[in-house]
Amino acid sequence: MTPLPQPADPTGPVAVPASGDRRRHPAPAHLVFFHGSMDCGKSTLALQVDHNQSRQGRSGLLLTQGDRSGAPQISSRVGLRRDAVELSAGTDVRLLVRHRWAAGHRVDYLIVDEAQFLTGTQVEQLAELVDESHVDVYAFGLTTDFRTRLFEGTQRLFELADDVQRVQVQVLCWCGLPGLLNARVVAGELVREGATVVVADTAPAAPPGPGGAPEVVRYQVLCRRHHARGQLGPSPSGPGQLALR
């Protein structure tokens, strides 16, 4: 990562090159991170930001990893979707952008969805694109994993972003309190151990049947108390469906 420029000494004889660059680019770019729990509308917001930027005549590049649709695109639960470039842990985001430039495409801003899956190095690459190439970066990701710990990409974005915002669409636990934590559920039980990244959706098409159908991993948003207690609510097999009994 590029070391931070030292403050210019006004009495010093040597001009600081970065100040000259800044004069040529009066509007500095920004690294902005929006985070929240599952279902809080991050991908919808990502597509809205892209829409607003492109309406101003700016040209963007959309990046994602492991989107719920399984295809390289950003999709939201309210039905919006746009094609995106799929990142892997080894992708150098700076090279990705430079290759677009070399092919004659403008890249004024990046939309990075599922930013929790970025490596720390990739977040540093994004910061370098902001500072050295004046590309605005809007990143969207989950705050914590199922163990209630920050994801690697999320942590590095907290450390480096110019602006960090919690997405304000409120997701509720089954008890009605704000749901801030993501629970991983296997065979109807909240689990606290395992790989950090197991991509699944919060609402499987069909819950496992009584005949012992293969159990799928699913995720459920809970309040802190019910995450700690491992209590999944009155209808653990059907998220979002309250059983009347």
Q: Which residues carry out catalysis?
A: 114
Answer for which of 89, 95, 169, 175 binds Zn ion (CB under 5 A) is 175
Task: Please measure the distance between the N-terminal and C-terminal CA atoms of the chain and give it in whole angstroms.
Answer: 58
Place of tokens 């420029």: 5
226 binds Zn ion (CB under 5 A): yes
- CA 96/CA 133 separation, integer angstroms: 13
- CA 170/CA 27 separation, integer angstroms: 33
Closer residue to Zn ion (CB): 89 or 169: 169
- Quick one: which segment of 135-143, 149-157, 171-179, 234-242 binds Zn ion (CB under 5 A)? 171-179
38 binds Zn ion (CB under 5 A): no
Answer for which of 93, 118, 161, 173 binds Zn ion (CB under 5 A) is 173
List CB contacts of 119: < 8 A, sequence separation 6 or more: 89, 152, 153
Among the listed residues 52, 46, 106, the one whose alpha carbon sits nearest the alpha carbon of residue 73: 46
Closer residue to Zn ion (CB): 157 or 232: 232
Answer for which of 123, 223, 236, 239 binds Zn ion (CB under 5 A) is 223
199 binds Zn ion (CB under 5 A): no
Compute the least distance from the CB of residue 221 to Zn ion, in Å: 9
Compute the least distance from the CB of residue 216 to Zn ion, in Å: 23
| Amino acid at residue number 51 | H
- Quick one: which segment of 28-36, 68-76, 127-135, 176-184 binds Zn ion (CB under 5 A)? 176-184
- Quick one: which segment of 63-71, 78-86, 120-128, 168-176 binds Zn ion (CB under 5 A)? 168-176
Q: Which stretch of DSSP H or E encloses residue 122?
A: helix 120-133
- CB-based contact 35:167 (threshold 8 Å): yes
Place of tokens 């496992």: 208
- CA 156/CA 43 separation, integer angstroms: 20
- CA 207/CA 16 separation, integer angstroms: 62
Closer residue to Zn ion (CB): 89 or 172: 172
Closer residue to Zn ion (CB): 119 or 231: 231
Closer residue to Zn ion (CB): 28 or 234: 234
Compute the least distance from the CB of residue 178 to Zn ion, in Å: 9
